[in-house]
Amino acid sequence: MTERLGHYLLGDVIGVGSFATVYRATDERLDDEVVVKVLAENHSLNPEIRERFIGEGRSLRRVEGSHVVTIYDIGESDRQQPYLVLEHADRGTVRERVAALRRSGWRASREDILAFARPLAAAVDAVHRAQLVHRDLSPGNMLLSTKPSELIGDEASNLHSWVVRSDERLLIADLGMCKDLAMNSGLTVSGGTAGFRPPEQDSPGVVDTRADIYAISAVLNWLAQDADLPGGAHKVIRRGLSAKPQRRQPNASAWLGELEDALAPPEPPPGTEPTPEISQEASLPTRGGLLRRRSVVVLTLCAFVAGALLGGFVLGQWLSAGQNQPVAQAQGISIGIQGPEEVTVGESAVFTAEVPGLDSWVWTLPSGRNLADEPDVTLTPTAPGTAEIILRARLPDGQDLEARHTVRVRE
């Protein structure tokens, strides 16, 4: 039997928590997909929990920002269960996205970190401007929606990221634990998600906006796991994770400013010739399967890239390898890369993985970025230079296979 709440037709359950159930739903009046969050029946008669649930809707209404989930409506069922009608984030949570990426061997890049941190800082700043402290910022409460960011210029859309893609918007949700600083001194009960909550939330006490600075630093630390980032970036994260709030960055804008300074590319030495650039088109596995997605990013190639890739960059299982020397053929199985050895600037070239008899393999592209199980990749050079593409696989007995292909780009 189809269930309705007002003019909202409830569909699949997409989330169940201790206090509420979340449904995908259709607004029958506007013919639009939304999310309906319904307080559990056993909690609906508890005045404190009921008020907190309704307060979440009021808090969302107060926040003015494009990176916080929008609330459309609030109502009550025939069983006296209050419900919130919210914006539908159709691409899941950051936690789900990163878990899928890591299964393919991905590690966060500078672009991934910045494309995530910028909208996150904008969202947290919007919450704080509304005189609220979120108190439960974690990857599971950060959503992805098919709606490009409104951040302009280098702040968002021209950064190539596998975490928050160019056609997506990062949203923070679940303000059920937020604290209204305009109504009290900040005294609050303990709470928050383990691993991301600040020390001052481990027990009842006083919190202010710097509690959220700790949480977003913890999220960034989680995202940057195994990432090759400048030492300054890790220093920014450590400051945000200070046990004493007064040692953290004072607000989200300052936090982001320090991070951007730390991740800024180094200035080339005087007299250095411009390095060649190459545009890359490729795809990665996404939530729900290997969906083809074409995207473009400009990657800088330095003369030492090929040599650095020879001994330094290995993915997933290859991190613990080194006992055997990779070869292109073993036990009657071989791998190779089919593609041109020379291209001109602006000419797209397709490189195909020759992997008969293998179920899994990994590309290492000239930037150091890795792609798992893709049959081909497309490169479009924008300046002359030389680059190397590497293809790796592993046999059941642990033998590594490796093929390399050098591409020369001419004017």
The binding site for ATP consists of 37
Closest by CA to 219, choosing from 247, 253, 255, 189, is: 255
Distance (Å, whole) CA 267 – CA 101: 31
User: Which residue among the candidates 27, 112, 125, 136 is catalytic per the annotation?
Assistant: 136
HSE (side-chain half, CA atoms, 13 Å) at 265: 8
Distance (Å, whole) CA 45 – CA 77: 13
How does 206-243 read in b/e, with b if 16+ C-beta sit within 10 Å?
ebebbbbbbbbbbbbbbbbeebebeeebeebbeebbbe
Looking at the DSSP bridge assignments, the partners of residue 233 are none
Beta carbons within 8 Å of 370's beta carbon, 6+ residues apart:
104, 105, 106, 107, 315, 362, 363, 364
Q: What angle do CA 384, 386, 388 make, to 5 degrees?
A: 140
Distance (Å, whole) CA 97 – CA 95: 6
Residue found by looking up tokens 């649930």 in the block: 53
Going by the annotation, the residues of the binding site are 37
Our answer to whether residue 136 is catalytic in this structure is: yes
- Active site residues per annotation: 136
